[in-house]
Amino acid sequence: MAEPTFTGVGVALLTLFDEAGAVDVRGTIGHAKRLVDAGVRAVLVAGTTGEAETLTEPEREDLIAAARQELPKDITVIAGASGSWPRAAGARAVTARKAGADAVLVSPARGGVDTRVLYGAVAEAVGDASRVIGYHNPGPLGVPGIEVEALADLPIGAIKDSSADPARLLQELGSWNGRIYVGSAAILSFAGPLGAAGALLAFANAEPEACIQAFAGHVGAQRFLTDLVEAVRKGGMRALKEATAAKYGTSTVRRSALS
């Protein structure tokens, strides 16, 4: 069985849809298998990159269950389980665990919900704080971030930090003993050699090998990712799905773009 947290590079998995906007479970998990074969060590299902806000609860459960059933047992399956208030996040986390997730990724909630209360509810619901990964990504999500000073008081085993802030990463590494994952492909060759546990990346959908090499400190691989970093910065999900399709022939349909 996979550990609740991992080391190395994981992928924040795209959810693939058919032309009508239906979830393509087989295609999505097939893509995950391909990335595992390329060397990724964890798969995040139904996260921000997976267009989680467009998924129904049964669709989330089906994707999580299929990932756990189809991927090797030593690959950590993580499920997005954020909620708008503590009880909702706790319930979603429990559902994800029952579907087979080894760990859950949870953002702070909008609306001034106390972060300690939120993560406390999730940890209590799943019964194991080591299986809870906090998510620091305050800009795109419209939710508050997680202050570095607050980490020691939160019942979480790890954090995914998508800020791309090297100074913040240094502060985390120097002051907290939980596992730290970077969510930005722009600082991989900085984060890996400095001691981050790993990376959990949207970019690994399109360039898993380069992400793995960059995290290992390969400067050439880091520079190779520049064009993709810029394309996704400008084009968002559309650009990421197009880059992935160009390499693997996957669907470019975005449910969030359908009428």
Residue-wise pLDDT for 26-55, tens only, equals: 999 999 999 999 999 999 999 999 999 999
Q: Which of 5, 9, 1 is nearest to 192 (CA)?
A: 9
E-only strand ranges, 46-171 = 76-80, 103-106, 132-136, 158-161
8 A C-beta contact, residue 211 and residue 230: no
Which residues are catalytic, by number? 135, 160
Domain total in the chain: 1
| Locus of tokens 């550990």 | 3
- Does 259 fall in a domain? no
- Does 202 fall in a domain? yes
Q: In angstroms, what CA-CA distances link 147 with 37, 116, 130, 152, 209?
A: 35, 11, 19, 10, 32
Domain that holds residue 87: 8-254
Give me 15's structure tokens: 């959810």
We report the CATH number of the domain holding residue 162 as: 3.20.20.70
147-201 confidence digits (pLDDT tens): 999 999 999 999 999 999 999 999 999 999 999 999 999 999 999 999 999 999 9
Q: What's the longest Cα–Cα distance across the chain?
A: 48
8 A C-beta contact, residue 199 and residue 9: yes
111-156 confidence digits (pLDDT tens): 778 999 999 999 999 999 999 999 999 876 667 789 999 999 999 9
8 A C-beta contact, residue 215 and residue 192: yes
pTM of the model as a whole: 0.96
- Does 2 fall in a domain? no
Residue 142: per-residue pLDDT: 65
8 A C-beta contact, residue 78 and residue 103: yes
- Does 3 fall in a domain? no
